[in-house]
Every structure is written in C-alpha cells, then in structure tokens.
Amino acid sequence: MPNFTEVTEFILLGLTSSPELQILFFIVFLIVYIVTLLGNIGMIILIRISPQLSSPMYFFLNHLSFADIWFSSNVTPKMLENLVSKVKTISYPGCIVQCFFFIAFVHVEVFILAVMAFDRYMAIGNPLLYSSRMSRTVCIRLISFPYIYGFFISLISTLWTHGLYFCGNIVINHFYCADPALIKMACAGTFIKEYTMRTLAGLNFSYSLLVIIVSYIFILIAIIKMRSTEGRKKAFSTCGSHLTAVTIFYGTLFFMYLRSPTEESVEQGKMVAVFYTTVIPMLNPMIYSLRNKDVKAAMNKAISRAFLEK
C-alpha cells in the first residue's frame, strides 16, 4: 500500500534555480505584468468612455480584457514572489484555489473568443439584421455562458485535483499549480484526473474552436460575395485581430493539455505556460488596438481630449 502523506503545502521549483536568472526573470515579468494590467484596464476604460466603441464586438472585447486581467493575476504575483523569495512554497488551499481560477478563466477566455467569432459572422454575414439580432439582451446571454460554464467545468476539474494523493513528494516542477505537474508527482488518483483533464480540455477546446472555424467559413463566404473591394478590406481588418489572438491562444493550449504528463512534457509545458499566462494577456490589448482602426481612433480622441482638458 502507498504511504500517503497529508499535504499542507507544496514547493514550487519555478522557472530556474539560477539566482542571476531569477533576478532577470523577476524584472522582465514584473514589467510584463504591469504592462498587462495597464493595457487591459486601459482597454476596458477606453471602451466604456468611447461612444464609437459601443457595438457588441467591443462589449465582448471588454470581457476578454477582464478575463485576461484575472487570468494573469491568478499566476503572476505568486511567480514574482517566488522568484525573489528563498522559501518558494504555496499552501495546499492556495494551490487548489489557483487551479480552480486557472481552469475557470482558461475556459472563459476560449469561449469568449468563440462568441467573438460568432459576433463577427453576424456583423459581416448579416449586416442589415446585426443590430436587431445582436441586441443588448442577446449579448448578455452570450457572454454569460463562458462564465457559467467555465466556472462549472473548473469546479468539476478542481474536485478531481483535490482527489489526488501524494506520497511524500511535495515538489511541483512548475511556477504555479498546474494539473500536469500535479498528476506527475501524485501517487494515486491520477488515472481519473488525467482522463478527465484530457477529455474535458479536448472536448471544450475543440468545440469552441469548431464554433470559430464554422463562423469563419461563413465569414469567408460572405466576403467572397462582396462586390466592394473596400468592404472586403474592412471585413478582413476587423477579423485580423481576432484571428491572431485565436491562433496564439489555442496553439499554446493544445500543446499544453493534450499530451500525457511526462517529465519532458512538464518541462516544455513550463515554457509554454509562461507564454499564455503572462505574454498573451499582455499582447491581446496590443493586437486589438494596433490592428483595429476604431480602437486607434478612439484612443487618439481620448488622448487629445485629455490634453485639451489640461
């Protein structure tokens, strides 16, 4: 029989054991985190104060920025603390809470991206009916699904994480409480946890991606039918930002969660996790501001108004 251990805390190995690299990583990721917060909070404020950003597309973008803030804040502060601390631990309840919010906001984000793809299809494929079909009530219902479903799936997944048993090994080869790393170090309860993790991740990521692919197939058909070259350019420009965000986010998630948790995959997963927990939340507001004419115009107007008031 395995000698199960009652775990009260875990040790996080983090990204590196080199003191020099730890200082460097602390500075880099602190800057990235500050830029992430400023960029996403700035996007939320800009959407709220700009009348030209009142369409459903920006309503959903507002929630994407909100999810990015929580997604990054769930992991980054603890990672920064451990980079400059000698005692690199996280309590067992803290680990479970981190797992819960991580899984919840991953699902919230992927389904918000799916909802945004459907919104682009409605805007480009049915422009005359767009305002009536994408009413405020419809938008609230659409955006409610990612939150309700994401937190429900996270509750199920976290309960299975809580069901893992450990036999003395409390060292997590990661910078946060990641499911693959916890499965690798657990000595019992791993089969059902790994099976549900891969099944739920595969089904949910595939289903949300299917919504995006189908939406863009119909968008492409609608664009081909357009006679105006200017109309085609505008349609492609509004979709470009979303496609960029989708490609980056889904690519890293499929790489992370649809493989068996081996020692090698956990090490590779750490590098990928850095990208989607810190870099992607920072990139999203940049992608949507630099590639979107309406956001750039609203930003310039807000800056000009701020200087004129002074």
**What is the DSSP-derived secondary structure letter of residue 52?**
G
pTM of the model: 0.88
The predicted pLDDT at position 261 comes to 54
What element of type H or E holds 31?
A: helix 19-49
Q: Please tell me the distance from the alpha carbon of residue 200 to that of residue 206, in angstroms, as a whole number.
A: 10
The predicted pLDDT at position 227 comes to 79
The predicted pLDDT at position 187 comes to 82
Q: Please tell me the distance from the alpha carbon of residue 46 to that of residue 198, in angstroms, as a whole number.
A: 38
Rg, the chain, Cα only: 21
Q: Please tell me the distance from the alpha carbon of residue 241 to that of residue 60, in angstroms, as a whole number.
A: 13
The predicted pLDDT at position 267 comes to 65
The predicted pLDDT at position 67 comes to 94
> 9-309 is classed in which CATH architecture?
Up-down Bundle (1.20)
CA dist 102 to 90, 155, 173, Å?
15, 11, 17
Q: Which residues contact 87 (CB under 8 A, 6 or more apart)?
A: none
Query: Backbone phi, then psi, for 226, in 5-degree steps?
Result: -70, 140
Spans of all domains in the chain:
9-309
Mean pLDDT by 10 residues, the chain (310 residues): 69 85 92 94 91 89 94 92 88 91 92 93 86 90 95 92 82 84 81 83 87 92 82 77 84 67 62 83 84 79 73
The predicted pLDDT at position 74 comes to 93
Is residue 103 a contact partner of residue 25, using CB atoms and an 8 Å limit? no
The predicted pLDDT at position 43 comes to 92
The predicted pLDDT at position 258 comes to 58
CA dihedral 117, 75, 285, 246 (to 10 degrees): -30
